[in-house]
Structure 1
Amino acid sequence: MTGLPAGVAIRRLGPEDVELFNTLSEADNLFDEDPSVAPSGALTPDGARDFLADPSVLFWVAEYGSLTVGFLHCIVQRRRTAGPWAEILLMEMGVHLDWRRQGIGSALVSAMEFWMAGSDVLEVWVPANTYAVGFYLKSGFIADEGSILVKQLH
């Protein structure tokens, strides 16, 4: 990937990466706009393995040696209409506070787009946080009509 700092590599995680995935989950607040929020927390090893083995889950990391400096998590969603067989929902993305503005976010998006092109997936959606909209617009996303609404069951 071009534009990455020397020594940074992007790779997709698989079920063999449970330990790395759970370590990231215990510190993912450092990849968010507000690092004072609580981290997501680790899954059980079996839960993490099942998550990473799920064919609808795409999870890339940017690594500098053994240090994770960024991640991107997508879900492949099959379409019910004619046309391409699926689309992607970009669920979350983060770059560690110390590694921002070095091209890591753009490289993660490029890795996702490379996967999409090789898998005949032509569209990606992102429910972007307000602070991230500028990044996504710069990355070629466009604003769509409508709003993202959330409902939690209690």
Structure 2
Amino acid sequence: MTGLQAGVAIRRLGPEDAELFNRLSEADNLFDEDPSGAPSGALTPDGARAFLADPSVLFWVAESGPLTVGFLHCIVQRRRTAGPWAELLLMEMGVHTEWRRQGVGTALVSTMELWMAGHDVLEVWVPANTYAVGFYLKSGFTPDEGAILVKQLH
């Protein structure tokens, strides 16, 4: 994790971290490219515990003392074909605006890759926002064919 500022630690959250998770959810707009948007908002305490207890959820935070300075959220997706048993979908990642370009994002991706190596997961997908594509390319991701499409039911 070269380049990561001393005193920054990365850890995976579990159900016992529901309060921290909800505090982050109330301020996660500060980790986005445009912090003027609304935060995601907290879950109920039971909902946050259930989310973090789900074995398909991987949620890491980067912390400097009591401050959360970054996070990375993945979903483990089982495969239906022969080969590796699963792949990851990198759902979201953010670094606090005051902590960018200090190695936090790179360290979070490295932590995810260490988890992948230890669990025989060989592939990760990311539906990257346009402003984040350069970071992911620099981190070793490559473009894939197709497009990500979204449909919301109302």
Same fold (TM over 0.5): yes
Residue ranges of structure 2 left out of the alignment (5+ in a row): none
Match of 1:69 in 2: 69
1:79-90 matches, within 5 Å, as 79-90=79-90
The one-character-per-residue Cα deviations of 1:56-106 (angstroms, maximum 9, x if unpaired) are 000000000010000000000000000000000000000000000000000
Query: Using the alignment, how far apart are the partners of 1:71 and 1:3 within structure 2?
Result: 17
Match of 1:153 in 2: 153
Residue ranges of structure 1 left out of the alignment (5+ in a row): none
Give 1:51's aligned amino acid. F
Give how far 1:3 is off: 2.0
TM-score (norm 1): 0.99
Give 2:73's aligned amino acid. H
Give how far 1:6 is off: 1.1
Give how far 1:2 is off: 3.2
Match of 2:30 in 1: 30
TM-score (norm 2): 0.99
Query: Using the alignment, how far apart are the partners of 1:134 and 1:9 within structure 2?
Result: 24
Give 1:125's aligned amino acid. W
Match of 1:16 in 2: 16
The one-character-per-residue Cα deviations of 1:119-141 (angstroms, maximum 9, x if unpaired) are 00000000000000000000000
Are residues 1:3 and 2:3 paired?
A: yes
1:92-111 matches, within 5 Å, as 92-111=92-111
Match of 1:43 in 2: 43
Q: What is the SS of the residue equivalent to 1:88? A: strand
1:51-62 matches, within 5 Å, as 51-62=51-62
Give 2:48's aligned amino acid. A
Match of 1:125 in 2: 125
Equivalent pairs: percent with the same residue?
88
* RMSD of aligned residue pairs (Cα, Å): 0.5
> What is the number of residues matched between the two proteins?
154
Query: Using the alignment, how far apart are the partners of 1:86 and 1:3 within structure 2?
Result: 30
